[in-house]
Structure 1
């Protein structure tokens, strides 16, 4: 058949997208090109035309074979009668065309109906081929959506890009995205065998909420002049200078010591400096002892600083000292696990610094060219960049910064004393800023890694990109290890930087750890994840542990007493090692599986370490729960237990957590009823004592209602999101 213009019109055999782009279509439903383009509707259209009865040559399409055959024209004379050939074939072609239209119309109506109707999900896992989102839903775990990566054929791989849970979106660098999904079988097993196994975990969580509420002072909390006894304050100040300040330069130490000394003799202490000092004390308190006995006082100091920062004095607070207080507050909130999400606070601080012009090098700002002012601005901008990137890595949020956003040079290698002298010159010797300078050289590579993991463009990243970034990071790390010894860093600086760099390596390769358990193509990532996890664990939990507190015990203390970066990374490392051992035991083998003794030791040590964390005041039992259930499953697999026996072991492990942790949490409540820390506080000048503050009106019974609980909350709760 033909149109009035004489052109032939054949029924469409390619979809609309392929015909429009003039590319080859494999004629599937949907076709491969639509899958790659993530086209929501792969439609095969048929041109709307009327049958033509002209005596020209007709092409009849065989609906079964899609091959064409010519029919003879009517003027061939006596050999063939035109009425017996042309007319029946024309009628048949018209019928086939009409049938094709009807089929297409039915198909389009079905597609429209499918789009309007909600998808029917299985109770545990569904997959939408058009949206590349897997939805996991169960009574035990609640509902969360996993954004997965597709391969060149449009099939989903076991590589999660992010997790959407309630109002949160966690990027690929967040530890839960690449770990929790690998133990869905445990949740499914415990749910299928016991509906009450997780009630005890919810009771622990409810009591934890009571403790956190009672720890929180009333709000707002105006600053008071109360500080610890001088001998205690001296220790806390040195703790801060030895640890946090050695990596992230915030203070000009000689100026700080001068004002600190004047505090004890002045009749009218400066309120702004008093706020700054209390934040230093709060950070230093985290390494005061293994029990974090100053936790309540440290939380109060942070609340006082938060009240001061929240005052509506925006323009008058755009100065260097206020910026120092904001940075110290950010670090203190992360270490103590109080305040809003650190990634959000870090973003606000970054914009404040840009508003103050810290992203421009001081040589471009007339009022900032003096050596002291210029170097302090460079140091503070460098620290803001570091903390912003670290908060992005831990929260799974995009860094929202670029190397082209700033032209501020790295800090110069000046000692603090040099900055107050005339015409100072950088030195090649070790200074307290040498470590920060060496770490800054690796910043572009670490920024590229976080962007690779958390930016929207990460969906187009490939494994080759991961290997390239791995090579870049190793090169930068090698240069760093060659540079640092010359600067004579402190033991804490060496351990902290090693811990940090292995965290970046771990995050880079963790997305491929799950696939590596089944695909040899990712074997390198599997090795990197386990090696980095083991080094992180041994830095946080040395064997044997130090007999007494010393300079080598700062990282173990931070991993035990604080919230956020150090304990979360340590827990993640033990968890991944346990997953590796479980995978080895589940692999096919003709004989017994020989596990690495050093890795097995980590699984055995992890529950005890988690209990030490709770004994130091942590209220979240998720770490202990993870290590217990993973240990139980590994024990069951090693002993050759059957599926039902292992399921019972898992249920007992979950129930055991309540039996161990509830008495410890109840002990915290009892101690809080006795007042604040058993530490005598003094006021350098006249003022009110710290006293006992209200513990709130909530009781455990008010929150022990597991009927509305979502047990998966312990994975995605604020303590996890808050951590760096």
Structure 2
């Protein structure tokens, strides 16, 4: 017997088939009999400055292998296990286990339904299988995973995905079996592996850099008080945040800033950006922010975007959606004419919302608390509304399909009625009782119909007029069902109302008339000649009058220093391009009726004509004053076109805009007979400026082309108007 054999005989022999136990603690901790936290280096060795001596033994008594599962691999394996369990459980519950064999993606292995026995679920037995009738199959069933770290929704339920997950798990598990010493390496890096956010503007920063730009506690609490002021606060909250919860998290942030979740920090920056922007746009900066509020708003907006990049929006962490939403709204308010850019950013918002499962009603998922569920409904309502509005403004189909979501509208409740530990929602208050959420609900109802309008108008092919009338009735019904406190009755007594309430009334009225003009604009010209389309003609003219009355009021309020209406930066602007369509509708209508009256020697409705001319004269001087500021190229173009058209109709310009006295309501169709009187066409003044205006081009604009396309065919010999 040689020396090596003799030495081996002296060692205790392992029983065949038993694996050698691998020490979990490092060698220094084992020798000192200390509890090891199993890090590299461990806490004990770090304290003793013995980082190099912190060694873990491998399976053969030597140092452990340096190979390790990367975080993405280990986390990917765990997520696959979770997803597989959820997928199989969902399919079994639905009775969708196939009878045949399903083939994996490799094509070499087959797994039949009989192989998925009780071992997959422990001792539980599989339910009785059945094939449901076709009309009982539930569409769109997915898997929701919600915890404190993320919210993730998976919509696929195909067995191919289950088999793919099995193959991936088998591959990862084989690596672990071959090398039991594999451990998870946790590392942090500032490098972000993913696409840039918002066209590459936001570059990741460091947490200390983020924290260093936050305002002091007294300043921050003053700003937050302004933000959460539902009545007088000029910055919109959209009620996506629960104030008690946000303030609790704010105080936790103050207690340990370095432990603040990066997404919550991004949300905080987005809120600060909105408040600073409200100071700048309303010109009511306090002394400490005088002259710098715009720069601070931009800084906080970029910081919020940096936090989104650092936190990785694809990870679907809490507050990802809210932070994205507020950041987008800051971008929109900062540059209100960039509707197309905002629409693209909203596309990202929608994708994240779907990825996080906000499109599914929380009542179907017990892992979502009652409080979280209600807040998710509020956030989804905002996402849905914003999609409808931005799609309407840019003239593209809505990105959210009607049958792709089932999330209910939020309840009409105050924030103080909600609590994080609540187990049941209180009954929703009636819509006749105003709460801060009431406006969001009724606004959503109007915008959802407007979304269907733009989907109809962007469909390829013909536009059945029956569909136009159906959408017309739907929009009118939603508008007529507004609570009385949200209905705009006139402008004479607005000084006695709160600024926020007046702004909400104006926005709802604006959306309604804007929707009517766009819905019926394609049939406006036909409605003058064909009785079948008369409703479109009347809708367009009445809504156009109402819109120009709003423009007049908004402009007048903007000229009043200290006006409460003008303080709110999130409002309909009197230079909105939507007012251009209203003006062109009325100009073309007047021209057509005058031409028809002169050729057929018939009377016209003088009351309607004078009302329209008065509205157009007011609009003309508004665009003139805006064009003189030379801040908007579009204002110059609109004034050139409108003034030339009015001159060609023999209508002069007013010197100044009078104060508004009433609003034109669009509830009725046409002017009452007793209010109208007729007189001959020759009573009109002759045109004072002959211009070669191609009226067909402007008819095309009203029916759907862009203003710039129509302006391209406009006579350019307008030196007198420059």
* TM-score in terms of structure 1 length: 0.51
DSSP 3-state at the match of 1:387: helix
**Matching residue of 1:380:** 379
**Matching residue of 1:622:** 634
Decide whether aligned partners of structure 1 residues 448 and 230 sit closer, same or farther in structure 2, where only a CA change above 3 A counts.
Answer: closer
Matched, 1:362 2:362: yes
Question: Is the contact made by 2:239 and 2:378 (CA closer than 8 Å) also made in structure 1?
Answer: yes
Matched, 1:351 2:355: no
Question: Is the contact made by 2:516 and 2:543 (CA closer than 8 Å) also made in structure 1?
Answer: yes
1:388 Cα offset (Å)? 0.5
**Matching residue of 1:532:** 543
1:312 Cα offset (Å)? 7.2
Matched, 1:610 2:613: no
1:445 and 1:560 map into 2 onto residues whose CA distance is 22
Q: Within 5 Å, give how 1:325-340 maps onto structure 2.
A: 325-337=323-335
Given candidates 568, 581, 584, the residue that maps to 1:572 is 581
DSSP 3-state at the match of 1:492: helix
**Matching residue of 2:514:** 503
Decide whether aligned partners of structure 1 residues 569 and 544 sit closer, same or farther in structure 2, where only a CA change above 3 A counts.
Answer: closer
Question: Is the contact made by 2:270 and 2:326 (CA closer than 8 Å) also made in structure 1?
Answer: yes
Decide whether aligned partners of structure 1 residues 600 and 461 sit closer, same or farther in structure 2, where only a CA change above 3 A counts.
Answer: same
DSSP 3-state at the match of 1:638: coil
Q: Within 5 Å, give how 1:525-564 maps onto structure 2.
A: 525-542=536-553, 545-546=556-557, 547-553=560-566, 558-560=571-573
Decide whether aligned partners of structure 1 residues 386 and 627 sit closer, same or farther in structure 2, where only a CA change above 3 A counts.
Answer: same
Given candidates 446, 454, 458, the residue that maps to 2:458 is 454
Question: Is the contact made by 2:414 and 2:436 (CA closer than 8 Å) also made in structure 1?
Answer: yes
List per-residue Cα deviations over 1:53-104 (Å, max 9, x = no partner): xxxxxxxxxxxxxxxxxxxxxxxxxxxxxxxxxxxxxxxxxxxxxxxxxxxx
2:548 and 2:380 map into 1 onto residues whose CA distance is 31
Given candidates 429, 434, 437, the residue that maps to 1:433 is 437
Question: Is the contact made by 1:240 and 1:283 (CA closer than 8 Å) also made in structure 2?
Answer: no
Gaps of 5+ in 1: 1-215, 651-709, 717-724
List per-residue Cα deviations over 1:511-553 (Å, max 9, x = no partner): 2224445545433212211221222232343189344444444
Given candidates 613, 619, 636, the residue that maps to 1:600 is 613
1:430 Cα offset (Å)? 3.2
2:220 and 2:712 map into 1 onto residues whose CA distance is 41
Q: Within 5 Å, give how 1:132-151 maps onto structure 2.
A: none
**Matching residue of 1:631:** 643
1:364 Cα offset (Å)? 1.9
List per-residue Cα deviations over 1:176-204 (Å, max 9, x = no partner): xxxxxxxxxxxxxxxxxxxxxxxxxxxxx
2:229 and 2:711 map into 1 onto residues whose CA distance is 32
1:247 and 1:597 map into 2 onto residues whose CA distance is 42
Question: Is the contact made by 1:435 and 1:493 (CA closer than 8 Å) also made in structure 2?
Answer: yes
1:427 Cα offset (Å)? 4.2
Decide whether aligned partners of structure 1 residues 607 and 227 sit closer, same or farther in structure 2, where only a CA change above 3 A counts.
Answer: farther
1:298 and 1:272 map into 2 onto residues whose CA distance is 13
Question: Is the contact made by 2:361 and 2:407 (CA closer than 8 Å) also made in structure 1?
Answer: yes
* TM-score in terms of structure 2 length: 0.51
**Matching residue of 2:274:** 280
1:404 Cα offset (Å)? 1.7
List per-residue Cα deviations over 1:626-677 (Å, max 9, x = no partner): 2332222221321666798335999xxxxxxxxxxxxxxxxxxxxxxxxxxx
2:597 and 2:712 map into 1 onto residues whose CA distance is 31
Could you say what the CA RMSD is over the residues aligned between the two structures, in angstroms? 4.5
Larger RCO: 1 or 2 (CA < 8 Å, sep 6+):
1
DSSP 3-state at the match of 2:590: helix
Matched, 1:253 2:254: no
Given candidates 193, 209, 213, the residue that maps to 1:225 is 213
1:272 and 1:444 map into 2 onto residues whose CA distance is 29
1:441 and 1:649 map into 2 onto residues whose CA distance is 39
1:262 Cα offset (Å)? 8.4
Question: Is the contact made by 1:414 and 1:427 (CA closer than 8 Å) also made in structure 2?
Answer: yes
List per-residue Cα deviations over 1:393-420 (Å, max 9, x = no partner): 1111111333321121111222212211
1:466 Cα offset (Å)? 0.8
Decide whether aligned partners of structure 1 residues 277 and 258 sit closer, same or farther in structure 2, where only a CA change above 3 A counts.
Answer: farther
2:446 and 2:457 map into 1 onto residues whose CA distance is 17
Question: Is the contact made by 1:389 and 1:447 (CA closer than 8 Å) also made in structure 2?
Answer: yes
1:613 Cα offset (Å)? 5.3
1:230 Cα offset (Å)? 6.3
Decide whether aligned partners of structure 1 residues 713 and 532 sit closer, same or farther in structure 2, where only a CA change above 3 A counts.
Answer: closer
**Matching residue of 1:477:** 479
1:467 and 1:247 map into 2 onto residues whose CA distance is 36
Matched, 1:645 2:694: no
**Matching residue of 1:38:** none
DSSP 3-state at the match of 1:341: helix
1:297 Cα offset (Å)? 4.7
Question: Is the contact made by 1:275 and 1:304 (CA closer than 8 Å) also made in structure 2?
Answer: yes
DSSP 3-state at the match of 2:576: helix
2:563 and 2:252 map into 1 onto residues whose CA distance is 29
1:358 Cα offset (Å)? 0.8
Q: Within 5 Å, give how 1:663-702 maps onto structure 2.
A: none
1:339 and 1:644 map into 2 onto residues whose CA distance is 36
Q: Within 5 Å, give how 1:159-308 maps onto structure 2.
A: 220=203, 225=213, 233=223, 237=227, 248-257=238-247, 271-281=265-275, 284-285=278-279, 287-289=281-283, 295=294, 297-308=296-307
Decide whether aligned partners of structure 1 residues 620 and 413 sit closer, same or farther in structure 2, where only a CA change above 3 A counts.
Answer: same
Decide whether aligned partners of structure 1 residues 483 and 588 sit closer, same or farther in structure 2, where only a CA change above 3 A counts.
Answer: closer
